[in-house]
Chains A and B, each alone.
Chain A
């Protein structure tokens, strides 16, 4: 049997940042790609506009990133991003195995999500690289391109601005791949749209699996029940903003609501 669990996982500041960041990210990718691959004729966005869009969004993204950093420190959310070191290899393999085979068999996620541990090991690593390496990198190189006089005069015999640009587009390219991958992997929730909804209203929900089910092969009757349950569940997601607000007030503690309190073996 399965129990539906509803967890308030994503506080308001995070969701606000996430979507603003996403919009800016999209605009930056579109304008960036236009500049990168266009020739004399324009691609997606005319060159002249692409530059302005890119610069404006870049500045806004920098601001949003500072906001993100501030709240991460304040709420200690940054801890979520520190990649595990002990047993990392096994965990990465386990997670990869899930993506490459388990997911097709309808196996449950190998690492359960909880407010204390929002990300699976691969997510931890990826998000760490993206948020604390790539994003600062692209922001710094971006600002240096806006203030080229601050860029070094020379780097290993090259003019200083050019390596900044090279670094900027290289990081940009990988962030672009991340963007696509991130959206796709977000469909791996309990339903295709579950994670998207969670990121909108803050409530993460998933099905509690019993131990026997977790080790059960994919093609069993139980899976059908799982699917049915999920269908019902998605309708039960609380839309009540009041609840959300009340939760937001004590977002630091990240309250957990469970529909079936008996089943508490959720965390890893």
Chain B
């Protein structure tokens, strides 16, 4: 009440001053004419109704005020009562509309009840029906902002009505946000902030509920703790305004649960969202066996988030211990190199049977020194076109598996040894001892793959050939010269 004291005093002061000049014209006197439903005036060729419903006024928050408190400068005896600007200036009492309407940054242009509907008071608050937004029954109560904001922002309203926020609101979830709850924070372009600042504000806003209010923490809240440690979170904090944050993936108003088939983050759609930034990788993924299978509607096919997680969760799938003992895989290593996500499905005998694939241990039993391979080679090293421009996302069908053993086995001489010997052994097993030895196509790579050695050797060879040519030319030249000399002498 104390806060409003200056306003009340101001109202009384205005009332007093008006009373002095207008002989304290009462509302009854005004209503004696304006209660007539047929009263109107012509303004700019338009009929303007001048009828005021008495009960509306009585219900309004201004019911105790005099008409002339707002309609300043009206002379009851003159018809019309006032010429020129007849608008009411709400800002005489309600100053600083920008501060009072932080969700509507355009309010900075407000000049009372004048201007376009987005900045004039009447546009939202109405005129004689005006009610206090703090009144639960008021159409301007923040819980009803979906409707009154939607009057202008109809497209946004349409999106919002499909969102989980709206569904929760309809279900009377007291935590469901309406327009004003989010938009009172500086999260939109109208706030004249940099894109990075806006993004940081947006992130803070979403996390304020989804991370910090434990009662509404979703199943992903745990992962959200790690968002700022994720590649996106770290980039954003480091000042990269292109880094993805909440709304970049989840959308702004049409925030749907992943289970919703139309949701941007639905299993079948999430690659499109990732692909808005990671276009090449997504394109590659869609060409992979998994991408094709997903396109064909296979729910089991992994999409981006299956391996990469959401919000940087590193949830390790449950895999029976026997898979590791049977295959010789080291659990910690496959977790670290993330191949554990491959293993989780590809060790599942039942699932693999469905697709006519061998489980991970059976499919690799041909590999010598299997444990060493598991420790050092990732699944994608052989099962995708890892060479640039590919980015190891085009997981290949089994028949196109890359058997480029030499790409690792040319790294050092010990690795060359093992592969070369193994190749010879294989070849002998295949063709018999003699044929296998002579016809084997094993080759010690690395020695020959040194560019400097190649250049030097070719250089020396060219020099030798050049030297020979020069020598031969000189020989020929002198020989001809001698012959000519001899002819002359004869």
Q: Show the binding face of A for B, using Cβ within 8 Å.
A: 35-37, 47-48, 51-52, 55-56, 59, 99, 103-106, 145-149, 151, 153-154, 158-166, 169, 173, 176-177, 180-181, 184, 187, 218-219, 221, 223-224, 227
Contacts and interface: CB of A to CB of B under 8 A. Distances in A.
A235 to B, nearest CB: 19
Interface stretch (B280-288, B391-399, B417-425): B417-425
Contact of B483 (A154, A163, A224): A224
A101 to B, nearest CB: 10
B137 interface: no
Contacts of A166: 447
A106 B482 contact: yes
A56 B490 CA distance: 58
Contacts of B474: 104
Given A51-B443, A103-B475, A227 B421 contact: no
B414 interface: yes
B21 interface: no
Contact of B443 (A35, A56, A106, A173): A35
Contacts of B485: 219
A51 B423 CA distance: 13
B438 interface: yes
Given A52-B439, A176-B461, A180-B468, A221 B421 contact: no
B464 to A, nearest CB: 6
Contact of B438 (A52, A158, A162): A52
B276 to A, nearest CB: 35
B238 interface: no
B448 interface: yes
Contact residues of A: prevailing secondary structure? helix
A56 B438 contact: yes
B447 A227 contact: no
B372 interface: no
Nearest to B418: A159
Interface residues of B, number: 42
B482 A161 contact: no
A106 B438 contact: no
B417 A104 contact: no
Nearest to B422: A148
14 contacts: A35-B443, A35-B448, A55-B437, A106-B479, A148-B417, A158-B414, A159-B416, A162-B444, A162-B447, A165-B444, A169-B447, A173-B457, A180-B464, A223-B486
A48, A147, A161, A163: residue with the most chain B Cβ atoms closer than 10 Å: A161
Given A159-B418, A163-B413, 20 more contacts: A36-B457, A55-B439, A56-B438, A104-B474, A104-B475, A104-B478, A105-B478, A154-B414, A161-B420, A162-B413, A162-B417, A162-B444, A165-B444, A165-B447, A166-B447, A173-B461, A180-B464, A184-B468, A184-B471, A224-B489
Contacts of A56: 438
A209 B154 CA distance: 115
Contacts, number: 116
Contacts of B421: 148-149, 161
Interface of B: 412-418, 420-421, 424, 437-444, 446-448, 454, 457-458, 460-461, 464-465, 468, 471-472, 474-475, 478-479, 482-483, 485-487, 489-490
A165 B406 CA distance: 15
A227 B416 CA distance: 58
Nearest to A148: B421
Contacts of A227: 483, 486
A59 B440 CA distance: 14
A235 B489 CA distance: 26
A236 to B, nearest CB: 21
